[in-house]
Amino acid sequence: MTDIQIVTGNQAAAIGAMLCQVQVVSAYPITPQTSLTETLSRFIEQGQLKAEYVRVESEHSALSVCIAASSVGARAFTSTSSHGLLYMHEQLHWAAGSRLPIVLCCVNRGVGAPWSIFNDQQDAIAQRDTGWIQIYCRNNQEIIDTLIQAYRIAEAVYVPVMVCYDGFVLSHTMMPIEVPEAEAVKDFLPPYKPHTILSPDEPRNINPVTFPWRRYDDRGVLCDGYMELRYKLQTALENSAASIIAANDFFADAFGRNHGGMLWSYRMEDAEVALTSMGSMATEATTAADILRDKGIKAGVVGIRVFRPFPKEAVRIALNKAKAILVFEKDISYGYEGALCTDLKAALYSTDIRVPVHNYIAGLGGRDVKPRELVEASEDSLKIIASGIREPKTTWINCFTG
Element (H, E) at 152: helix 140-157
Indicate whether 365 belongs to the interface with other proteins (CB under 8 A).
no
Q: Dihedral of CA 188/95/87/55: which sign?
A: positive
Give the C-alpha separation, 44 to 217, whole Å. Answer: 44
Site size toward other proteins (CB under 8 A) is: 48
Q: How many residues does the chain have?
A: 402
Looking at the Cβ atoms of 187 and 218, the one nearer to other proteins is 218
CB of 87 to other proteins, least distance (A): 10
Q: Residue 287 burial by CB count (10 A; 0-12/13-18/19+): exposed, middle or buried?
A: middle
| 1 Cβ neighbours under 8 A, 6+ residues apart | none
Other C-beta atoms closer than 10 Å to the C-beta of 381 total 23
CB of 360 to other proteins, least distance (A): 38
User: Of 44, 83, 94, 312, which lies in the binding site for other proteins, with binding defined by CB under 8 A?
Assistant: 94
Tell me the backbone φ, ψ of residue 172, rounded to 5 degrees: -115, 15
Looking at the Cβ atoms of 215 and 372, the one nearer to other proteins is 215
Q: Mask: binding to other proteins, 16-35, rule CB under 8 A, as x and -?
A: -------xx-x---------
- Position 361: which residue type? I
CA–chain centroid gap for 57, Å, is: 25
CA–chain centroid gap for 332, Å, is: 17
Looking at the Cβ atoms of 69 and 282, the one nearer to other proteins is 69
Stretch 192-251 residues interacting with other proteins (CB under 8 A): 198-200, 202-211, 215-218, 221, 223-224
Looking at the Cβ atoms of 72 and 317, the one nearer to other proteins is 72
Looking at the Cβ atoms of 57 and 352, the one nearer to other proteins is 57
CB of 82 to other proteins, least distance (A): 20
Looking at the Cβ atoms of 1 and 221, the one nearer to other proteins is 221
Stretch 37-76 residues interacting with other proteins (CB under 8 A): 51-52, 54-58, 60-62, 64-74, 76
How far from 21 is each of 44, 146, 355, CA to CA, in Å?
Answer: 11, 15, 47
Stretch 291-330 residues interacting with other proteins (CB under 8 A): none
Looking at the Cβ atoms of 67 and 382, the one nearer to other proteins is 67
Indicate whether 86 belongs to the interface with other proteins (CB under 8 A).
no
Helix (H, G, I), strand (E, B) or coil at 350: coil
CA–chain centroid gap for 284, Å, is: 18
Q: Residue 176 burial by CB count (10 A; 0-12/13-18/19+): exposed, middle or buried?
A: exposed
Q: Where does this chain bind other proteins (CB under 8 A)?
A: 23-24, 26, 51-52, 54-58, 60-62, 64-74, 76, 90-91, 94, 198-200, 202-211, 215-218, 221, 223-224
